[in-house]
Amino acid sequence: MVSTGDLRKGLTIVLDGELMKIVEYNHVKQGRGTAFVRLTLRNLRTGATTTRTFMAGEKFETARTETKHVQFLYRDGDDFHFMDMETYEQPVVRVDVLGDAVNYLKENQELDLLTYQDEVIDVSLPTAVELQVVDTEPGYKGDTASGGGKPATLETGLVITVPFFVSTGDTVRVDTRTGEYIERVG
Comma-separated ranges of CATH 2.40.50.140 domains in the chain: 66-124, 128-185
pLDDT digits (tens, 9 = 90+) for 83-129: 998 999 998 988 877 878 888 998 998 999 888 888 888 888 888 99
Domain at 66-124, CATH from 1.20.210.10, 2.30.30.90, 2.40.50.140, 3.40.190.10? 2.40.50.140
In this structure, whether the domain defined by 128-185 belongs to CATH 2.30.250.10 is answered with no
Beta carbons of 132 and 171 less than 8 angstroms apart: yes
DSSP code per residue over 19-78 = EEEEEEEEEE--SSS--EEEEEEEETTT--EEEEEEETT-EEEEP--EEEEEEEEEEETT
Comma-separated ranges of CATH 2.30.30.30 domains in the chain: 2-62
Give the pLDDT of residue 131.
Answer: 92
pLDDT band (50, 70, 90) for residue 145: low
Per-residue three-class SS string for 125-145: CCCEEEEEEEEECCCCCCCCC
CATH of domain 2-62: 2.30.30.30
0.85 surpassed by pTM: no
